[in-house]
Chains A and B, each alone.
Chain A
Amino acid sequence: MAAKRTMTLNLTDAEMQALDELSARKDISKTAVLRQALRLYQTIDARVEKGEKLLFENDATKEKAELMLL
């Protein structure tokens, strides 16, 4: 297992609540939620940097919506 470093994270109540909810719903620890978030954010950022767009498609209606990343 790769060596890990510890950091202190300051979150608002709302952010902590969102983290708690994701942790419970995804059945992973809060640390794992944040590590997943970092992986996804880095992946999306790398693809957007290459000129790609992030689209969501409604499975039923096939309607597409672009997520604007600034």
Chain B
Amino acid sequence: MTVEVSRVYLLDGGTGDGVEAELRDAIEQAQISDWERHWIPAILAAIQDLVARQVPHSGWPQSLHWCWPKKIARVQGLLAFRGFSVVAQGVTQGLAQLDLTKTCRELSQKGKPLIYVEYLEVAPWNRSELCVLPRLRGVGTVMLTAAVALSNEEGFKGRIGLHSLPQADAFYRKIGMTDLGPDPSYQNLRYFEMTVEQACAFFEKEEGR
């Protein structure tokens, strides 16, 4: 399979300057290696810091236990799943895994296919809840934009859906997704959906940046 690479721009967390990055439409061995060699030590250091600062468990990032090699192995070779990665400054800055077989729940588009964002995670050094000064900003938005673009490519007209970890709820509301409330069938995480109109507005806003 040929991996498509697009040039995208992130923001330097300190200076606010643009930083060139690659958006890759796959998660490859290089990303797994980066996760093992760079993300895991940074996550362990972050956990030590959270313990030292006596931050209660409820304040810890809920994705700290995610094991990307397992997530990727589970869907290896299946057409129903797609991955995206963002690489900048020589290392993986974000990972996303998408499911193409889910359908919409929001009443106006119920039953129509969407891109379901199964997992989306930004490298620990880019997360404001773990660092005073995140290294790069905009990684999550780049991957979400890629999900909306994939939805358009697949003919799903920009529709996407996801279960949000509590710390990200405000972000998904801010970008205009519909909050369908806690889902008892999925750990009571809130389910968000983007309609065709919301996807158009989101895309226009992102293209205008």
- A1 vs B77: C-alpha distance in the bound complex, in angstroms? 18
Number of chain B residues close to chain A: CB under 8 A: 19
- Whether B79 lies near A28 (C-beta < 8 A) is no
Q: How far is the CA of A40 from the CA of B156 in the complex (A)?
A: 16
Q: Encode contact with B along A43-61: 1 for CB under 8 Å, 0 otherwise.
A: 1001000000000000000
In the complex, what residues of A have CB within 8 A of residue B154's CB? 28, 32, 35
Q: Is the CB of A36 within 8 A of B78?
A: no
- State whether the Cβ of B80 lies closer than 8 Å to any Cβ in chain A: yes
A36 in contact with B111 (CB, 8 Å): no
Residues in B whose Cβ lies below 8 Å from that of A39: 78-80, 100-101
Partner of B111, one of A2, A25, A40, A46: A25
Within B1-22, the residues touching A (CB, 8 Å) are 1-2, 4
Residues of B within 8 A of A35 (CB): 154
In the bound assembly, the distance between CA atoms of A29 and B78 in angstroms comes to 22
Contact B80 A42 (CB under 8 A): yes
B95-120 CB contacts (< 8 Å) to partner A = 100-101, 109, 111-113
Cβ contact of A32, chosen from B4, B78, B101, B113, cutoff 8 A = B113
What is the predominant secondary structure among interface residues of chain B facing chain A?
loop
| In the bound complex, CA of A13 to CA of B79 (Å) | 28
Q: Does B153 contact A (CB under 8 A)?
A: yes
B113 and A43 contact, CB distance less than 8 A? no
CA distance A46 to B154 in the complex (A): 22
Residues of chain A within 8 A of B153, CB atoms compared: 1
Question: Can you name 29 A-B residue pairings with CB atoms under 8 Å?
Answer: A1-B153, A2-B1, A2-B2, A2-B4, A2-B25, A25-B111, A26-B111, A26-B112, A26-B113, A27-B112, A28-B112, A28-B154, A28-B155, A28-B156, A29-B155, A32-B113, A32-B155, A32-B156, A35-B154, A38-B79, A39-B79, A39-B100, A39-B101, A40-B80, A42-B78, A43-B80, A43-B101, A46-B77, A46-B78
A interface residue numbers (CB < 8 A to B):
1-3, 25-29, 31-32, 35-36, 38-40, 42-43, 46
